[in-house]
Amino acid sequence: MRKLVFIGLVFTGAVQAQEINVWQVLAEVGYESKPSPETGFEIDSPKFSKRLMSYNGKVVRVKGYLIPMAELGGRNEYMLSSLPFNQCYFCGGAGPETVVELQTKQTIKFVTRQITIEGVLFLNDFDPDHHMYIIKNAKVID
Closest alpha carbon to 97 in 32, 21, 27: 27
Residue 81 covered by a domain: yes
Higher pLDDT, 7 or 141: 141
Domain assignment present for residue 8? The answer is: no
Residue 38 in any domain: the answer is yes
For the four alpha carbons of 22, 27, 30 and 31, in that order, the dihedral sign comes to positive
In-domain check, residue 13: no
Kindly state whether residue 46 falls inside one of the protein's structural domains: yes
Q: In the prediction, which pLDDT does 89 show?
A: 57
Range of the domain at 107: 19-140
If pLDDT is split at 50, 70 and 90, which confidence band does 126 have? Answer: confident
pLDDT digits (tens, 9 = 90+) for 19-44: 789 999 999 999 998 887 778 888 88
In a domain, 37, yes or no: yes
- Tell whether pTM > 0.95: no
For the chain, the domain total comes to 1
Residue 73 CA from chain centroid, whole number: 22
- The answer as to whether 27 is a domain residue is yes
Backbone angles phi, psi at 88, to 5 degrees: -75, 170
The answer to whether residue 131 sits within a structural domain is yes
Taking the C-alpha atoms of residue 111 and residue 19, their distance in angstroms, rounded to an integer, is 24
Query: Which of 124, 85, 84 is CA-nearest to residue 101?
Result: 124
Of the listed ranges 75-79, 99-103, 135-139, the one predicted with least confidence: 75-79
Question: Which whole number is the average pLDDT over 109-134?
Answer: 93
Of 84, 122, 115, 86, the residue nearest 101 (C-alpha): 122
Q: 111 or 71: whose pLDDT is higher?
A: 111
Q: Is 68 left (phi over 0), alpha (psi -120 to 50) or beta?
A: beta
What's the CATH code of the domain at 60? 2.40.50
CB 124 within 8 A of CB 133: yes
